[in-house]
Amino acid sequence: MIKVAVIQMNAQADKADNVRRALALMARAVAEGAPDLIVLPENFTCYSTDAALMARHAEDMPGGAVYRALSDFARRHGVTLHAGSMSETSADKPYNTSVVFDRDGREIARYRKIHRFDITSPDGASYLESAVVGRGENIVTYPLGDLTVGCAICFDLRFGELFRALQDKGADVIVIPSAFTYATGQAHWKTLIQSRAIEFQSYVVAPDQTGTFDQGAKRTWGHSLIVDPWGEVIAEAGEEETILYATLDKAKVDAVRGRIPVQKLRVL
């Protein structure tokens, strides 16, 4: 069994302050929950609709200052750290990237967001992530104890094909750090997460950004979730900065898949 700590935070445009607060929240999680795995939300190092600002805060992986700080934290505290997502330098547009460090501080997974957020929300606001963020291509999983963890980020939640590919690679848990808008979160967040957990008979671990950003002009949903393979919510946040804890049990995954053997019965 694996104990997970999910960190919900309200990142702003100040990268140094965001990183300081993220490290403090992670230290609190270690002190009060002794987790095996800590997960941060999408864009935890910097969150703004200012594309130039986000690009300036991109960093090399490996080699960047935040990358090194996260690796050091994982090593010092003996935890696996799934670092939500942050901007990764590239020759073209920066990637929106999750990086995972093991208990020794070594990188064991790197996932670049595949599905970029190009939408018009119900409140009329338009977003065009593909204009400023490069597209990832690889399906990424990593081992954690007796579990296999699959990687996704935010808008990926709407694409069942990715979750199917992760299940085909053995994923028992899917981690999806997010920064859902308030309007889309209110309408779809919980329904989609529970649906993915049920459909793919996996734990879904979903840390979300919360609160306002861009000097209060924009707002994220919060309500981070941990859902089990039967679709039951086992931990749920409100709209404050907080930490959720839960235990992920391979036996629960196996039991659900044994009762309803979807993968074995699939014909398409």
Q: Residues 6-61: pLDDT tens digits?
A: 999 999 999 999 999 999 999 999 999 999 999 999 999 999 988 888 888 999 99
**Beta strand ranges found along 21-161 (DSSP E):** 37-39, 80-88, 95-101, 107-112, 118-120, 126-128, 141-144, 147-151
Q: pLDDT-derived band of residue 125, with 50, 70 and 90 as boundaries?
A: confident
Task: Write down the mean pLDDT value for the chain.
Answer: 96
- The pLDDT assigned to 98 comes to 98
Across 117-144, average pLDDT = 89
Q: Which residues are catalytic?
A: 42, 113, 154
- Torsions phi, psi for 86 (to 5 deg): -150, 170
For residues 63 and 49, give the distance between their C-alpha atoms in angstroms, rounded to a whole number.
26
- The pLDDT assigned to 216 comes to 83
- The tokens 């094909």 sit on which residue? 161
Task: Single out the residue of 204, 206, 203 nearest to residue 256, CA to CA.
Answer: 203
Q: Residues 201-231: pLDDT tens digits?
A: 999 999 999 999 988 888 999 999 999 999 9
For residues 95 and 2, give the distance between their C-alpha atoms in angstroms, rounded to a whole number.
29
Domains of the chain, residue spans: 2-265
For a pLDDT cut of 90, what percent of the chain falls above it?
Answer: 88
Topology of the domain comprising 2-265: Nitrilase/N-carbamoyl-D-aminoacid amidohydrolase (3.60.110)
How buried is 191 (Cβ within 10 angstroms: 0-12 exposed, 13-18 middle, 19+ buried)?
Answer: exposed
Q: pLDDT-derived band of residue 151, with 50, 70 and 90 as boundaries?
A: very high
